[in-house]
Amino acid sequence: MTTHAVPVTIARTPARTRPVALARQDDVVTSAVGRRTLAVLRLATGFIFLWAFLDKLLGLGFSTPFERAWINGGTPAQGFLMSPAVTGPLQPWFQAMASPLADVLFMIGMLAIGVAVMSGVGLRVAAGAGSAVMLLMYLAEWPFAWGAASTNPLVDYHVVYAVALIAIAALHAGDTWGLGGAWKRLPIVQRFPWLA
């Protein structure tokens, strides 16, 4: 008995791909998982600022004891600026900033940045303001000195937070699980895109 080989053709179907949605031409195209990951990064980064505000306001006992809370007459910015944590060649300049006005501006800044980033509204402004605050705190603690509190003089948590803020603003992270999309459709934001 002889057998004849019969050629068999196997049809290959293209791998199943998931569609990627584009919201605007200037958006970076990412997967749904990527968008959600950016949203989580946005919420976590925003909460860092909001938590700093709440802890300094109420003295929750983490970095601010209750007796040094702002509601009890504490001085959140002045306390930091006059502390031993502020070192280096810029120490006199930072200590000259210590005033009740610095406390008010710091607390308003922490609240505004935290709420903006968590809600996804005005991320460009919040990223700029938050990065400026992080840069100032980085320079105030002067991580370049031997024996400084930072374990890495070039990239410490201040730098990472600033980069995270810039990334979530640049990648429109407020559009996922946030109010960023609705905010950008407002006429004033359409007219002044830097408010996005």
Stronger pLDDT, 130 or 6, i.e. the higher one: 130
Nearest Cα to Cα of residue 93 among 61, 140, 48, 26: 140
Residue 184 lies in a domain: yes
Is-contact 79 125, C-beta < 8 A? Answer: no
On whether residue 44 sits in a domain, the answer given is yes
Q: Could you tell me the pLDDT band of residue 22, with boundaries at 50, 70 and 90?
A: very low
Token reading at 176? 């996922």
| pLDDT tens track for 170-191 | 999 999 999 999 999 999 999 9
Whole-number percent of the chain with pLDDT over 70: 83
Is 60 exceeded by the pLDDT of residue 100? Answer: yes
> Any residues with CB less than 8 A from the CB of 25 and at least 6 apart, and which?
none
180's tokens: 């960023």
CA dihedral 161, 167, 172, 178 (to 10 degrees): -20
In a domain, 18, yes or no: no
150 within a domain of the structure (yes/no) = yes
Q: Which of 129, 133, 126 is nearest to 168 (CA)?
A: 126
| pLDDT (average), residues 137-147 | 87
Does 19 reside within a domain?
A: no
In sequence order, the 6+-apart residues with CB closer than 8 A to the CB of 68 are: 59, 74, 79
pLDDT surpasses 80 at 4 = no
| Tally of domains within the chain | 1
Note the residue count of the chain.
Answer: 196
* Residue 27 falls inside a structural domain: no
Domain range for 167 is 32-195
Q: Rounded to whole angstroms, how far apart are CA atoms 91 and 84?
A: 10
- pLDDT of 144 reads 87
| Span 74-101, average pLDDT | 95
End-to-end Cα separation, the chain, in angstroms: 79
This prediction has a pTM of 0.83
Residue 14 lies in a domain: no
20 belongs to a structural domain: no
pLDDT in tens, 23-58: 454 556 468 999 999 999 999 999 999 999 999 999
Percent of the chain with pLDDT over 90: 77
Provide Rg for the chain, Cα atoms.
24
pLDDT confidence band for 3 (50 / 70 / 90): low
What pLDDT, on a 0 to 100 scale, did the predictor assign at position 145?
79
CB-count exposure of residue 175 (10 Å: 0-12, 13-18, 19+): buried
For residues 128 and 142, the model is more confident at: 128
